[in-house]
Amino acid sequence: MQAQGGKNLAANPAPGFKLRPDHKVKCDLYRGDVIVSLEGTEIARSASAVLVTESDHRPILYMPQSDVHDEFLIESRHVTRCPFKGKARYWNVKIEDHEVDNAVWAYEMPYDEVLELAGLMAFYETKLDIEVIPAN
């Protein structure tokens, strides 16, 4: 990203795209509703989910943090780093006595190339129930 005169405006560029410029991360609004639950208890519901498709990965639905019932989330110490998206923080999901470790993640300060991920959370479909209801 450059302004007039060639000044670099990128404050937080993804290092991965320099090494693999062919790698793609695409964010599209999902047309429909997404419901995330654990043992029948709804922990998130959104009509504003974002479908993220990325080279070498299966598609993942992210939803606005405001659509997540944060009373079921417990911050985890687990952190990962993606060279294309940035640093991911994780949360456990706890319903009564059942706690599922590192079931939710978010890129709170994503790299410039994927700023659309800011404010969104994703859920492991192997740890939680995710219901996808396409729009009519």
**DSSP letters of 119-130?**
TEEEE-TTTSEE
Encode pLDDT of 15-39 as tens digits. 999 999 999 999 999 999 999 999 9
Decide if 69 contacts 42 (C-beta within 8 A): yes
Confidence of residue 134 (pLDDT cuts 50, 70, 90): very high
Maximum pairwise Cα distance, the chain = 59
pTM of the complete model: 0.89
- CA distance linking residue 77 with residue 9, whole number of Å: 32
Give the amino acid at 134. Answer: P
List Cβ<8 Å contacts ≥24 apart for 22-26.
Answer: 22/55, 23/54, 23/55, 23/56, 23/84, 24/53, 24/54, 24/55, 25/52, 25/53, 25/54, 25/55, 25/84, 25/85, 25/113, 25/114, 26/52, 26/53, 26/54
Higher pLDDT, 8 or 57: 57
- For residue 136, the model assigns a pLDDT of 81
User: Cα Rg for the chain, rounded, in angstroms?
Assistant: 16
Query: Over 60: is that where the pLDDT of 90 sits?
Result: yes
Residue 35 has phi, psi (to 5 degrees) of: -125, 130
